[in-house]
Structure 1
Amino acid sequence: MGTLSKLRRMVLRENVSVREAARRLRISRNTAAKWLNESQMVEPRYPQRAAVPSLLDPYREQLANWLKADSYRGKHERRSVRAYFEAIRAMGFTGSKNLVYGFCSNWRQEQANVPRNAGFVPLSFELGEAFQFDWSCEYVVIGGLRKRLEVAHTKLAASRAFVLVAYFTQSHEMLFDAHNKAFEVFGGVPKRGIYDNMRTAVDKVGKGKERSVNARFESMTGHYLFEAEFCNRAAGWEKGRVEKNVQDRRRHIWREAAEKRWTSLAELNDWLLQACQDSWAELSHPDWPELTVADVMQDERSRLMALPKAFDGYVEQPLRVTSTALIHFQRNRYSVPCEWVNTVVSLRAYPEFLRVVDSHGEVVDLVRSFERDQTFYDWRHYISLIERKPGALRNGAPFKTMPEPLQELQRQLLKNAGGDRVMAQVLSAIPMHGLDTVLVAIEIALEGGRASAEHVINTLARLKDGARPLAVLQIDTPLTLQTPPLANVSRYDSLRTQEARHVQ
C-alpha cells in the first residue's frame, strides 16, 4: 500500500514518467501502469501462494497438543522446545530443529494474541455502599534486616479512600486488626465488604457463590454489621479497584518506603497511615476530577454506619505448660508463672502480644515475636520456684535477664556460703514491695557496702513506711510554757560536786 501511494504521488503530482517511477520503486513498468489505470486507490492483491508440503506437517497436531498441555503446568514443569524436537524425532521426524522452533514460536504468539476475556462491565457504587479488601506482599528493611511483609489494603469503592497496614503474617488476628484500624480511619462501616476467597475468611469454596465462611470471620462481620461478599474463582476484576490500588501504591508509597530504613513495624505503620491520608488530598477522584479523594471521602463518611466498639480479634487455642514453665507457639517458647506448670492454659494471639489465661482467670501478657526458634524468659515468673530451689539461681537461664542491680547483688552474695538462699529472700520481696522499690533498696545497700538480705529488707521497710528523722517532726500541742528553759551548764557542775560528796 505504501508503494502504491508513492507511485501515485511521483506520477500524478511530481510529473515523473511511469518508467522512471517504476525504476525508482523497483517494480515492473507494467505493474505500475496497471495500478495507475485504476480509478480508485485500491490495495493491490496478490495471488495466494500454493502451500509447500513440509516435513513437519504430520507432527503439527501432536506439537500443538503438547504445547497446550504444558501451558497449564507450572513454569518449572514445562518441557523445552528441544524436548519436543527429541520426542518427534523419536517418532520418525527427519527435519531440522529450526522447523520445530519456528512452529512453537508461532503457536505461542498466536495464543498470546487471542482475546482472554470477552470484556468487562464498568461498576458503580453508591457512597457508603461497599469496601474492597486484599493482601499484597512487599519487602522493606526493618531493624537492619530485609523483611517480607503482608500488607492489608482496605479501599472504599465509592470515594476511593484507602488504608494500608503492614504485618508479618496473614493470620486471622492480623485480618481482624486491619479491619479495626481501617474502620477507625474511615470513621464508620460500609454496608458490604468484597473479598476474594482467602483462607482466613473462607474454609471451603462451593459451587457458584456457595461459601463455607470461617466462624471467627463471621463473628467479625456480625460485630460490625456488614455483609461479606466473595468473588468468583479467578475473577479478580470483581474487586478491581483494590487490585489496582495494590499496583498504584507499589509505584508510589512502597517505592518510597523501600528507600527508607525503619526501626520497627509500628514506625512503618504510622508512616503508612500518614502517607495514605496525604495521598487522599493529592489524588483526583476519577468520577469527579474537580474533587480530590479527600473531598469525596468527607461526603461518604456521613453515609457510613457509626463505628461500634473495636472487635476483640484474637485467635484462641489451648496449650499445656511444660515442666520448665514454658509454652510453645509458632516455633517460639515463652515463659509463664511457674505455678501453672503442667496445666492447660488458654492462649489468645493478638498482632502485637500474646495473652495467656489460666483456669482461674489469671491473665499474663507476653510480647509477641515473629522470629523462629527463640526462647523468651521473664525471670519474675520463677521467683516462687527459687524460694524452694535456691541453688538454681547460680546457673538459671531466666535470671540472666535480671536488671543490673540485682545481678550485682547476686554476684556479691554468691561469694559467700549460703548466698543463694539470701538472694532468694531478696527476690521473694519483689512480689510484695514491687520491683522499683526493691531496686532502690538494693542500690542503697550496695552503696553502703553491706550487701545482705537483712540490710535490703530493712531499707525496704523504711522506704515503705516513709520514716523521717525526729528533728523534722513537728508536734502540735495546746500547752505553752510560761518560763522557757534556759541552758545553764553550772547546774550540771553543781550536780557533779554533790555526787562527789556522796561518794565520800
Structure 2
Amino acid sequence: MYLVELYIKIRRAVMVEGRSEREVARHFGIHRKTVKKMCQFAVPPGYRRKSAPVSPKLAAFTGIIDAILDADKQVHVKQRHTAKRILERLRDEHGFTGSYTIVRNYVYQAATRQKEMFIPLAHLPGHAQVDFGEADGYIGGKLVRFHYFCLDLPHSDGCFVKAYPTEDTESFLDGHVAAFVFLGGVPLSILYDNTKIAVAKILGDGKRERTKAFSELQSHYLFEDKFARPAKGNDKGNVEGMVGYSRRHFMVPLPIAADFDALNAKLLDGCIKRQQARLRGQTETIAERMKRDTAALMVLPATAFDACHKLSTRVSSLSLVRYRTNDYSVPTEYGHREVLVKGYVDHVDICLGADIIARHKRSYGREEFIYNPLHYLALLEQKPRALGQAAPLQDRMLPEVFDRLRRMMEERMERRGRKEYIQVLRLLENFSQAQVEHAIKQALHLGAISFDAIKHLILCALERRPAKLDLTLYPYLPRASVKPTEPRSYLSLLQMTQANQQAAKVHYD
C-alpha cells in the first residue's frame, strides 16, 4: 500500500501541474492505472476484499453445502462440519472434483452471513441478572477450585459476588438471600440461564417447569423470573461480563484466605469499592446510578428465607443419615425413623417434625462419615463390650486424664469399670468437656474413682458448695485405722468358731 505522501506528489503532478498520467507513471515508476486510481482518492482507500464469485466447479454443489450448514445448527457445536470434512463428503458422496480453497472460501462467506446481529438494549432500574462463575484460590492453605454467585444490576452495573465450595441448591439460595440483604431490597425481575437448580424441565412451548426449591424462593420474595434462550449467553450479557470482570479483578492474583468467610469479606469489599467507578459512556458513577436501582427494588420480607436444600430420608440401623454422599449421625433413639435433612452452605440439620435432633458442620468431601460421639453413648452403655471398637469414639481426641480414669476403673472393677467409664462419658451429654475433665482430676486426686463421685464433684462446682468426698472437712468423724492382720488372730477366731459350734450342738441335743 502506498503512503499518503506519494498520493500528494502524484495528485499535484496530474491535477495541479497538468502533466499526463502516463508521464507521471513513468516518472515515479508505477503503473498508469495506479496513477489513475490515486487521482480518484485523496487518501489510500485501504484493502477492500470483494466477494469472490462462486467457482463454476462449485456452483452445482452450493445447495448441498448450505443444507449441511443448516443441519449443523441442530447438533453439538463440537461435532459440526469443518470445511475439510465438507470437501471430503462432496468428493465421496457427490463426485466433486474441485479444490479445498474454493470450498473453504464459500463456507467462510456462508458462516459470515449466518452470524447473529444484536440490538443495543436500555435497562430499566430495579432489574437483575444472576449467574455462577468458577475460579481457583488458596482456602485454608489448600489450592481449591471454588464457585461464586454473581448478581448484576444492568441499569447501574452494580454487582454482588459471593464464593462457595460448590455450585448447588444451597449456594444458589443463599446467594440470593445474601444479595438481597446487600441491596436492601428485592429486584423486580431476575434473568437466569437454564440451570438445573432452577429449571426442572424446558417445555415444548418454551415455558419452564421450576424446581421445588426455586419455586419456594420465588414465592417468598415474589420477584419475576426470566430465562435466557438455551445456549444463548448473550441474552444475559451483563452478568456474563460481570462474572469475567470479577474473576480478573477480584481473583487475580489467586486469592488467599483462611476460610470462605474471609474470602467473601474481600469480595464484598471489592464490590463496594467498584461503585466509585465511572464507566465508559456514563456521566455518573455506579453508586450514583445504583440509587435509582435501589429505589425501584421491592421491600424485603419480614422474615429471611430458609436457604437450604431439603431431603426426606430414613435413619439407618447405624444411626446415620446420608446427604450428598456423606453420612451424618443422629441419636440412636431415632433409629429407623423418617426424618427431614436440611442442607445449608455451612451446616446440616436433621429434623424430626419441628425439632432439630442433630446438627453437623457441612462436609464437602465424598463418602465421609461425620459422627457426634454423644449420639452413641446411650447405646454404648447397653453394649459396653463395643467400647474399644466404637468408630464414633475413634477420632474423638479426649484429654489424657480420661484414658487414665478408664484404665484405673477397668483394673479395679473389670467389666463394671468399663460400664462406669461409659457413664462418665455420658456426663458430656449435659456438661462441658472442661467441667467433666476438672471433676475427673479432682476425683483422681481424692482417690474417689467412681461415676457417682465425679458427678457429685461437677454438681458441687456448679452449685458452689463443698464436695463431701474430703474427710478433712469433717473433723468430728472418727478416723478408721486399718492394721496388718497377725496369724494368732486367726487362731483365736478359729477357737471362737469351734466353741460356737459345740454350743449349738449341745443345744440341739
TM-score (norm. length: structure 2)? 0.76
Distance in 1, matches of 2:450 and 2:394, equals: 20
TM-aligned CA distance change 1:144 to 1:288, over 3 Å: same
- 1:279 equivalenced with 2:277 (yes/no): no
Identical aligned residues as a percent: 27
Deviation of the 1:181 alpha carbon: 0.7
The letter of the residue matching 2:155 is: A
- State the match for 1:322 in structure 2: 316
- Asked if 2 retains the 8 angstrom alpha-carbon contact of 1:135 and 1:151, the reply is yes
- State the match for 1:370 in structure 2: 364
Deviation of the 1:222 alpha carbon: 2.7
Partner SS for 2:275:
helix
Distance in 2, matches of 1:201 and 1:52, equals: 51
CA shift digits 1:7-26 (9 cap, x unpaired)? 44565578988667435665
- Asked if 1 retains the 8 angstrom alpha-carbon contact of 2:329 and 2:358, the reply is no
- Asked if 1 retains the 8 angstrom alpha-carbon contact of 2:330 and 2:357, the reply is no
- 1:431 equivalenced with 2:426 (yes/no): no
The letter of the residue matching 2:227 is: F
TM-aligned CA distance change 1:17 to 1:81, over 3 Å: closer
Partner SS for 2:263:
helix
**Partner of residue 190 from structure 2, selected from 168, 189, 193:** 193
TM-aligned CA distance change 1:156 to 1:392, over 3 Å: same
CA shift digits 1:287-339 (9 cap, x unpaired)? 752x3222333454344333222111222221111111111111111111111
The letter of the residue matching 2:190 is: G
List gaps (5 residues or longer) in structure 1. Answer: 471-504
The letter of the residue matching 1:147 is: V
- 1:172 equivalenced with 2:169 (yes/no): yes
Distance in 2, matches of 1:284 and 1:357, equals: 50
CA shift digits 1:153-200 (9 cap, x unpaired)? 112333332111122333333222111111111112233333333322
- Asked if 2 retains the 8 angstrom alpha-carbon contact of 1:209 and 1:230, the reply is no
The letter of the residue matching 1:77 is: Q
**Partner of residue 141 from structure 1, selected from 129, 132, 138:** 138
TM-aligned CA distance change 1:72 to 1:211, over 3 Å: closer
For the aligned residue pairs, the C-alpha RMSD in angstroms reads 4.0
- 1:262 equivalenced with 2:257 (yes/no): yes
- Asked if 1 retains the 8 angstrom alpha-carbon contact of 2:130 and 2:192, the reply is yes
Alignment of 1:25-44 (within 5 A): 27=30
The letter of the residue matching 1:431 is: E
CA shift digits 1:59-78 (9 cap, x unpaired)? 66556655664565445535
Distance in 2, matches of 1:147 and 1:301, equals: 35
- Asked if 2 retains the 8 angstrom alpha-carbon contact of 1:159 and 1:285, the reply is no
Distance in 1, matches of 2:344 and 2:43, equals: 75
- 1:219 equivalenced with 2:213 (yes/no): no
The letter of the residue matching 2:211 is: N
- State the match for 2:454 in structure 1: 456
- Asked if 2 retains the 8 angstrom alpha-carbon contact of 1:345 and 1:356, the reply is yes
TM-aligned CA distance change 1:53 to 1:361, over 3 Å: closer
Deviation of the 1:347 alpha carbon: 0.8
TM-aligned CA distance change 1:148 to 1:359, over 3 Å: same
**Partner of residue 181 from structure 1, selected from 178, 182, 185:** 178
TM-aligned CA distance change 1:413 to 1:85, over 3 Å: farther
- State the match for 1:106 in structure 2: 105
CA shift digits 1:48-95 (9 cap, x unpaired)? 9999865x7766655665566456544553566665565555458696
TM-aligned CA distance change 1:230 to 1:75, over 3 Å: closer
- State the match for 1:77 in structure 2: 79
Alignment of 1:1-400 (within 5 A): 5=7, 7-9=10-12, 21-23=24-26, 27=30, 62=64, 65-66=67-68, 69-70=71-72, 73-74=75-76, 76-78=78-80, 87=89, 90=92, 99-100=99-100, 102-114=101-113, 116-126=115-125, 129-206=126-203, 210-256=207-253, 259-281=254-276, 283-284=277-278, 288-289=282-283, 291-298=284-291, 300-308=293-301, 309-359=303-353, 361-400=355-394
- Asked if 2 retains the 8 angstrom alpha-carbon contact of 1:344 and 1:359, the reply is no
Distance in 2, matches of 1:457 and 1:239, equals: 64
Deviation of the 1:205 alpha carbon: 2.8
Distance in 2, matches of 1:414 and 1:247, equals: 64
- Asked if 1 retains the 8 angstrom alpha-carbon contact of 2:24 and 2:35, the reply is no
TM-aligned CA distance change 1:366 to 1:32, over 3 Å: closer
- State the match for 1:477 in structure 2: none
TM-aligned CA distance change 1:32 to 1:300, over 3 Å: closer
- Asked if 2 retains the 8 angstrom alpha-carbon contact of 1:142 and 1:261, the reply is yes
- State the match for 1:440 in structure 2: 438
- Asked if 2 retains the 8 angstrom alpha-carbon contact of 1:347 and 1:356, the reply is yes
Distance in 2, matches of 1:50 and 1:79, equals: 23
Distance in 2, matches of 1:299 and 1:170, equals: 31
TM-aligned CA distance change 1:300 to 1:74, over 3 Å: closer
Distance in 1, matches of 2:170 and 2:295, equals: 29
The letter of the residue matching 1:295 is: E
- Asked if 1 retains the 8 angstrom alpha-carbon contact of 2:321 and 2:330, the reply is yes
- Asked if 1 retains the 8 angstrom alpha-carbon contact of 2:83 and 2:107, the reply is no
Distance in 2, matches of 1:152 and 1:109, equals: 38
- State the match for 1:488 in structure 2: none
Alignment of 1:400-419 (within 5 A): 400-405=394-399, 406-410=402-406, 413-414=409-410, 417-418=414-415, 419=417
Distance in 1, matches of 2:75 and 2:187, equals: 40
Distance in 1, matches of 2:357 and 2:241, equals: 43
Deviation of the 1:395 alpha carbon: 1.4
Distance in 1, matches of 2:249 and 2:66, equals: 42
TM-score (norm. length: structure 1)? 0.76
Distance in 1, matches of 2:286 and 2:62, equals: 55
- Asked if 2 retains the 8 angstrom alpha-carbon contact of 1:7 and 1:32, the reply is no
TM-aligned CA distance change 1:397 to 1:200, over 3 Å: same
Distance in 1, matches of 2:450 and 2:29, equals: 112
